[in-house]
Amino acid sequence: MSSTPSGSGTPTGTSSPWAAGGTTFAGVLMIVGGVFAIIEGIVAIANDEVYQRVGDYTFKFDLTAWGWIHLIIGILVLLAGAAILKGMEAGRIAGIALTCLYVIAHFMWLPYQPLWSIVAIGIGVFIIWALCTDTPRQARP
């Protein structure tokens, strides 16, 4: 744990306690989000009629293509989340990159599931923040 200077209440380390706890929570959220993305992908691949598009949208991929995109991103995000929980530095780096793709995919998925996409984007932004602001475990005092 970081020590505090005489009476100031702020830790002297570069990592905030929110970010340190957030990294573990981000790993868990990545696993759960990956499972949900896998389920979304399987449903979209299995049945093209399950999702209805809301309005006209620029990204008009076939629903089967969207299913494969979500399935692949979901598997990769799940694996990166597991690596983060194991404390691997490569997992953090992969987690940031894959969560960026996850957020972009859900932005483009807005016409099919608007409410869930907005929630997933918010969760993704938190994950990226937590992984970027926490210091590596071996660098902590």
| pLDDT single digits (tens) 34-51 | 999 999 899 888 876 666
Report the candidate in 64, 98, 67 with the shortest Cα–Cα distance to residue 81.
98
Number of C-beta neighbours around residue 108 at 10 A: 16
Backbone phi and psi for residue 33, each to the nearest 5 degrees, phi listed first: -65, -35
Q: What is the pLDDT of residue 87?
A: 86
Q: What is the pLDDT of residue 30?
A: 94
How many angstroms separate the CA atoms of 25 and 19, rounded? 9
Q: Span 6-28, mean pLDDT?
A: 63
- Could you tell me the end-to-end alpha-carbon distance of the chain, in angstroms, rounded to an integer? 7
Q: For 69-109, what is each residue's pLDDT tens digit?
A: 999 999 999 999 999 999 888 999 999 999 999 999 989 88
Report the candidate in 70, 72, 76, 64 with the shortest Cα–Cα distance to residue 107.
70
